[in-house]
């Protein structure tokens, strides 16, 4: 570290008794053979776009629904519902993440026994959602190319907690607008998460979506 930087550690322990509830929910969903996926990212990285692409690719094979978390609007749920997929809108009223009681409120409005796959679109935030287990079987995050390849250094908890990393907006890599280095980013991620699955995609062009949905379908089929 350079001499002219002073380093001050501001520590705050974050406690959650949410974990036992999450384990219980996971068991219930496993018993009904319903896979719950918690999708997280920064604002604007492409969560809703990924859900639209993913549900379009799998809708002949799987029965799906989406629980949308949004602070105030219903923009995302409108888009999902317009595509023919059942959507529940949770308005968090300013809350920065979802926990198990909030997810349960969403699930209570769904007929879980008739669903193979439920997506939670978490609040757009790389910090708080990483701290709270939602009861999901799979944690999936999106990093979009314009955000930069240094994000694993800055939000290590999120990258360490996820089973899958979708790298979205890879069509930006072909322009001079960004110096994002995919190999360098992957190296940074794998240093903190040795088992993470990484799928580079463009939700705009559809590139790479098949690799992700094939993997997801196989993963769900063997549950």
Q: Where on the chain is the footprint of a second copy (CB under 8 A)?
A: 1-2, 4-12, 14, 42-44, 70-75, 77-78, 81-82, 86-96, 102, 105-106, 109, 123-128, 131, 144, 146-148, 150-151, 153-157, 169, 171-172, 175, 177, 204
- CB 221 → a second copy: shortest distance, Å? 27
Task: For strands 117-121 and 164-168, give the pairing.
Answer: unpaired
Q: Which is nearer to a second copy, 70 or 163 (CB)?
A: 70
- CB 204 → a second copy: shortest distance, Å? 7
3-state secondary structure 147-211: HCCCHHHHCHHHHHHCCEEEEECHHHHHCCCCCCCHHHHHHHHHHHCCCCEEEECCCCCCCCHHH
Q: Which is nearer to a second copy, 6 or 218 (CB)?
A: 6
- CB 210 → a second copy: shortest distance, Å? 21
Give the separation between CA 56 and CA 155, rounded to whole angstroms.
30
Q: Which is nearer to a second copy, 2 or 218 (CB)?
A: 2
- CB 222 → a second copy: shortest distance, Å? 31
Give the separation between CA 4 and CA 121, rounded to whole angstroms.
41
Q: Which is nearer to a second copy, 31 or 113 (CB)?
A: 113
Closest to 98 in 3D by CA, of 76, 73, 123: 123
Q: Which is nearer to a second copy, 51 or 216 (CB)?
A: 51
Task: For strands 117-121 and 64-70, give the pairing.
Answer: parallel
């Amino acid at each position: 570290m350079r001499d002219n930087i002073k380093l001050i550690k501001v520590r705050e322990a974050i406690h959650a008794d949410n974990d036992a509830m999450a384990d219980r929910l996971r068991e219930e969903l496993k018993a009904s053979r319903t896979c719950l996926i918690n999708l997280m990212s920064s604002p604007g990285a492409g969560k809703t776009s990924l859900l639209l692409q993913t549900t379009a690719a799998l809708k002949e094979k799987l029965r799906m629904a989406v629980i949308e978390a949004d602070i105030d609007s219903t923009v995302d749920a409108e888009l999902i519902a317009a595509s023919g997929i059942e959507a529940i809108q949770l308005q968090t009223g300013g809350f920065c993440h979802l926990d198990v009681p909030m997810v349960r409120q969403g699930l209570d409005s769904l007929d879980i026994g008739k669903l193979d796959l439920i997506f939670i679109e978490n609040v757009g935030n790389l910090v708080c959602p990483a701290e709270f287990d939602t009861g999901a079987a799979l944690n999936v995050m999106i990093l979009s190319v314009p955000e930069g390849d240094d994000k694993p250094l800055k939000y290590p908890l999120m990258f360490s907690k996820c089973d899958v990393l979708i790298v979205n907006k890879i069509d930006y890599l072909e322009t001079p607008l960004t110096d994002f280095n995919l190999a360098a980013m992957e190296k940074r991620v794998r240093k903190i998460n040795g088992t993470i699955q990484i799928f580079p995609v463009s939700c705009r062009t559809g590139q790479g979506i098949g690799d992700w949905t094939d993997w997801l379908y196989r993963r769900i089929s063997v549950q």
